[in-house]
Amino acid sequence: MLHGFYGGVHPADRKKTTSKVKIAAMERPPARVVLPLCGQDGESGEPLVKAGDKVSLGQLLCPATPRFAAVHASVSGTVAAIEPCLQSWGGKALSIVLENDGKDAPARPAWTPASRRDAPQDLTPGEIVDIVRQAGIAGMGGGAFPAYLKLHSAIGRVDALLLNGAECEPYLTADERLMEERPEAVIGGTRLLMRCLALDRAVIGVEGNKYAAVAALRKQLPLRGGDVEVRTLRARYPQGSEKQLIQKLTGRRVPTGKLPADAGCVVFNVATAAAVYDAVYDAVPLTRRVVTVAGSAVAEPKNLLVPLGTPLEDLIREAGGWCAPPDRVLAGGPMMGAAQFDLSTPVTKGTSAVLGLVAAEIKPANRPEGPCLRCGRCIEACPMGLEPVYLHLYADHGRVRELAGLHIMDCTECGACAYGCPARIRLVHSIRSGKQQLRSLQEKNRGEGGAG
């Protein structure tokens, strides 16, 4: 049974240019790759290599930390440098820079691959979680949170495993093509996750406009009574967000300030499930991912299988370059992606797309801000039931304590409010600023409490 979720919008999907384009490897591999050793929170791992070292494809370069998945070489070659490098989120992160020798000489597997004839029941949950940790698998829907930590924290606490195949942002088709071309990896990875969590059933949610992907997945399953169910969802953004997908598929709501496990659910992206399958059965760490390269400024929109750390400019070149001057280049989708001012930034585990958009595609967003009309559309669109207009006003006026009372930290920054705002107010920008103000105040209060 499908349920509903509050709010949401339905932007034009604009997926036709790539939804039928098969995944292709890069014809011209990157000359160098940049592999960050930390995320936006700044916590970095300790590199196991130094400048000048020779590395093999898949070699462990940095072990996992409590907030960051292990990093492996995505090409073979030489460590050119270990230095802070610009990332797609706008800041710099300590990174390993590899010069590609073009040989892709593989490293020796760090764990023993399971036979494809073996059932998941032949592996213990601990063995699977350990392989996921060693393989450096992170959430590939955008969050890039270490998958082994998510699994470990969910064991014994959840009774519902959900796989996110919604891919509801416009332009994005990387997951759609993966489900259509590698359904056995998605289903096989799902069963491995079920084994970890001691569950006998899982649900994959896919938007109903992805007919071929739904058919490919269902072809891998019995007509009735299977352990994995594929449910089609009516297209609606932000259906792929964890809390909204949980509400849609189970009817449960994640409590304010809590995690999905507190509602008895855990959600993984379908690409993450496929990566788990590859790690267990082929002993392959996560070194590549599928990226959609699209937008009206791109000459030949494609779905590319690229080494992690590949500069965005290499993906644009692989897609035929620009056919028109881009007004904006995004890493990620048009709703939640980050605008890029330097295309040397690298593909990461959470990079689902690179979009080159012309002015006509983002014309409404380029209009100057007007005064709030008090129309209430932002409140109607917010899937979290928040009041974006007041979050915007309080953030702009520095009224931080009121922001906490309005549950600003529950905002997922999906952009549905800004999309529907007729005055084109930069609501998400204000909300991000408000969150930072609240964090700073909380840190200050903790510091004063500790000093006292």
Average pLDDT of the residues in 285-309: 98
Average pLDDT of the residues in 378-385: 94
Number of Cα atoms under 13 Å in the Cβ half of residue 452: 6
| pLDDT one-digit tens code per residue, 104-134 | 999 999 998 887 766 677 889 999 999 999 9
Distance CA 57, CA 70 (A): 14
Q: What is the dihedral of CA 394, 397, 399, 400, to 10 degrees?
A: 80
Q: What is the DSSP string of 376-415?
A: -HHHHH-TT---HHHHHHHHHTT-HHHHHHTTGGG-----
With vertex at residue 184, the alpha carbon angle to CA 225 and CA 350, rounded to the nearest 5 degrees, is 115
User: Is CATH 3.30.470.10 the classification given to domain 120-282?
Assistant: no
Token duo for residue 258: 């809590």
202-207 vs 228-233, strand pairing mode: parallel
Average pLDDT of the residues in 419-436: 92
Higher pLDDT, 141 or 22: 22
Which among 93, 97, 98 is positioned nearest to 67, based on CA atoms? 93
Whole-number pLDDT of residue 116: 72
Whole-number pLDDT of residue 41: 60
The pLDDT-based confidence of 451 (bands split at 50, 70, 90) is: very low
62 annotated ligand-binding residue: no
Q: What is the pTM of this model?
A: 0.93
Higher pLDDT, 251 or 446: 251
| pLDDT one-digit tens code per residue, 389-419 | 999 999 999 999 899 999 999 999 999 999 9
Give exposure, 172-202, as e/b (b: 16+ Cβ within 10 Å): bbbbbbbbbbbbebbbbbbbbbbbbbebeeb
- CA 219, chain centre distance (Å): 26
The pLDDT of residue 266 is above 70: yes
Whole-number pLDDT of residue 67: 80
Which among 380, 378, 381 is positioned nearest to 391, based on CA atoms? 378
323 annotated ligand-binding residue: no
Average pLDDT, whole number, for the chain?
92
Where does CATH 3.40.50.11540 sit in the chain? 120-282
Which among 363, 178, 141 is positioned nearest to 274, based on CA atoms? 178
| H-helix segments, 29-154 | 125-134, 147-154
| pLDDT one-digit tens code per residue, 70-82 | 999 999 999 999 9
Whole-number pLDDT of residue 452: 39
Whole-number pLDDT of residue 102: 95
Contact call for residues 229 and 203 (beta carbons, < 8 A): yes
Contact call for residues 281 and 113 (beta carbons, < 8 A): yes
The pLDDT of residue 183 is above 70: yes
Average pLDDT of the residues in 22-45: 87
The pLDDT of residue 40 is above 70: no
378 annotated ligand-binding residue: yes
Q: In what order do the strands lie in the sheet with 32-36?
A: 32-36, 92-100, 77-86, 54-55
The pLDDT-based confidence of 147 (bands split at 50, 70, 90) is: very high
Distances (CA, A) of 278 to 145, 189, 269, 286, 401: 19, 8, 15, 9, 47
22 DSSP 8-state letter: P
The pLDDT-based confidence of 256 (bands split at 50, 70, 90) is: confident
417 annotated ligand-binding residue: yes
| pLDDT one-digit tens code per residue, 334-377 | 999 999 999 999 999 999 999 999 998 886 666 788 899 999 99
Whole-number pLDDT of residue 66: 79
Distance CA 69, CA 146 (A): 5
The pLDDT-based confidence of 204 (bands split at 50, 70, 90) is: very high
Token duo for residue 262: 């507190």
Helix or strand run (H / E) with residue 86? strand 77-86
375 annotated ligand-binding residue: yes
Which among 290, 70, 111 is positioned nearest to 186, based on CA atoms? 290
Whole-number pLDDT of residue 42: 59
Distance CA 44, CA 54 (A): 22
How many angstroms separate the first and last alpha carbons of the chain? 54
Contact call for residues 82 and 106 (beta carbons, < 8 A): no
Sign of CA dihedral 166, 169, 170, 173: negative
Whole-number pLDDT of residue 137: 96
